[in-house]
Amino acid sequence: METSRRILLKTALATGGVALAGGAVLIDQRPSAATSPLRSDPFTLGVASGDPLPDGFVIWTRLATDPLADDGGGGMPTRIQVVLWQVATDPRCTRVVRAGVARTGPDLGHAVHVEVDGLRPGREYYYRFRVGRHVSPVGRSVTAPDPRSMPSSLAMAFVSCSQFEHGYFTTYGRLAEERPDLVLHLGDYQYEYVAGGYTIPGGNIRDHKGPETVTLGGYRQRLAQYRTDPDLQAAHAAAPWLVVFDDHEVDNNWADEVAENVASQPGFIDRRAAAFRAYYENMPLRRTSLPSGPDVQLYRSVQWGQLASFHMLDTRQYRDDQACGDGYDDCPPAAAPERSLPGAAQEAWLAERFAASTQTWDVLGQQVFFGRRDSTATPDNTVSMDAWDGYPASRDRVVRSWVDAGVRNPVVLTGDVHAHWGSDVLTDWTDASSPVLGSEFVCSSITSGGDGYDQPDGTHPWAAQNPNLRFWTNLRGYVSTTITPASFTADYRCLPRVSVPGEQAFTRASFVVDDGVRGMRQVADNPAPPTLSLQAPRSAAQIIEDTIAAETGH
């Protein structure tokens, strides 16, 4: 019997894990099972999971004994490291159901991506890693439900825009406390600027380390700096994530192979390749998203039983360049029918996903504002060239594809703009009485822009000429949702300040989309905390100036 156990253990370590009768899994717990011992903790960047399927998910870590090392190598030796991993049904990892071995080294940035399978659908699991005597924190993950089942509910939160210098990541910590089933990160996970390159009124709270990110080592170092934050680590460890990038993971307002500035164009393709590589190394992505030079396959769909499909879009890599020099402009060439934001292939893929959907909710996780926002009350149409407003024909094709497919409940989720917004998708964007075709919920930033502010009536000055706009607040935060077969509820969660750590979150407003009913209805409008009433009131002109500055300058 002992000989058989030794043979089985050897097989487990070679293949990544082996289940025994009764569901137990053998894994060698001896420190000597790993490579030469590391003197200090290599799990300084925490753990994460992502891209859940009914039978498993990705678990991730990246080894770094000195995470802010100038070369981006995390202080790790150049030799290959052997990393043991476990997945269990309890937080103490005593009831292990899958286990195995992964190997990593400098060519991978010492990142570990394990695609765990063989699990049961719709279940909660816990996981951890070990290198020698060092054991990682324990993460929590969830498998997607059986594709044929109808879950009673899904708790999902979505976030974007975390600028390390602009504040503390308390928002991530508050999200972690909710223990959602799923988190969507919609871009601007990190910012590329040198310390002080993007400042807020009153000065930045923290500093970036290193120069502006251009090289692989630079991106690795910057992402490691972000991942040392304990609140960000807590959010990653609390639930599986679905991630997509926006612009600052590479360069502000980049488009396909075009850099933001002409001076940055030489070498931009190499920069893009370096950024994509570092992004993959630091995110819980499947090997299907392993970059090939300057290209990465990131758009994908994840099904949550018959309740929802999440279509995660890439609105940077395939887009036509912004028209009329970018910024806010009244730009007729932007409406050219051949122009596309996601690119023709991704538009076609999304139309196919809509046509094949049998889910109650079809959710688009994407980066830039979908609805119309004319910035002037004059007859012209001065809108953001970086958002879907700058690609109206492309937006019309996407909307038409869900209408033609008979999608039951289309919902668009958006990041990028550093404020909470609610917006209807209208047949005619200029006519409040035109039929509603869908709903868009926009999350504020984690920190980008620094401390925000609130308007008591939740109305942006642009609402006067944009009847699709339903709600707005400039406070920082995230959106917490509850999805059931009957409704999609969005709670706009806010923090009073991000300039000091430890602030509590509150719900500023709640909206519901009812099954089979186009458009959102407000169910709660909660007052902001009393401390916010002490803020100096902002004029309409100031609010508009802040809005445009947040979306164009940086």
- β 154-159/361-365 pair status: unpaired
> What is the number of alpha carbons within 13 Å of residue 24 lying toward its C-beta?
8
Q: Note whether 2-142 and 155-552 share their fold.
A: no
Q: How far is it, in rounded angstroms, from Cα 460 to Cα 543?
A: 8
Q: How far is it, in rounded angstroms, from Cα 230 to Cα 234?
A: 6
Write out residues in the chain with pLDDT < 70, as ranges: 1-36, 533-534, 553-554
CATH topology of domain 2-142: Immunoglobulin-like (2.60.40)
* Residues forming beta bridges with residue 423, ordered by sequence position: 440, 469
Q: How far is it, in rounded angstroms, from Cα 521 to Cα 531?
A: 28
Q: What is the pLDDT of residue 533?
A: 66
**Residue 457 CA to chain centroid, in angstroms?**
29
Q: What is the pLDDT of residue 16?
A: 39
* Each residue's pLDDT tens digit, 242-301: 999 999 999 999 999 999 999 999 999 999 999 999 999 999 999 999 999 999 999 999
Termini Cα distance of the chain = 65
**Torsion sign over Cα 125, 46, 188, 316:** negative
Nearest Cα neighbor of 477 from 498, 502, 499 is 498
Contact 518, 437 (CB under 8 A): yes
Q: How far is it, in rounded angstroms, from Cα 546 to Cα 554?
A: 11
Nearest Cα neighbor of 186 from 488, 416, 451 is 416
Q: Where are the domains of the chain?
A: 2-142, 155-552
Q: In the chain, how long is the greatest CA-to-CA distance?
A: 84
* Each residue's pLDDT tens digit, 22-59: 333 334 444 444 456 899 999 999 999 999 999 999 99
Q: How far is it, in rounded angstroms, from Cα 514 to Cα 520?
A: 8
CATH topology of domain 155-552: Purple Acid Phosphatase; chain A, domain 2 (3.60.21)
Residue 521: CB atoms within 10 A of its CB come to 13
Q: How far is it, in rounded angstroms, from Cα 196 to Cα 163?
A: 12
Q: What is the pLDDT of residue 534?
A: 64
Q: What is the pLDDT of residue 8?
A: 31
% of the chain at pLDDT higher than 90: 89
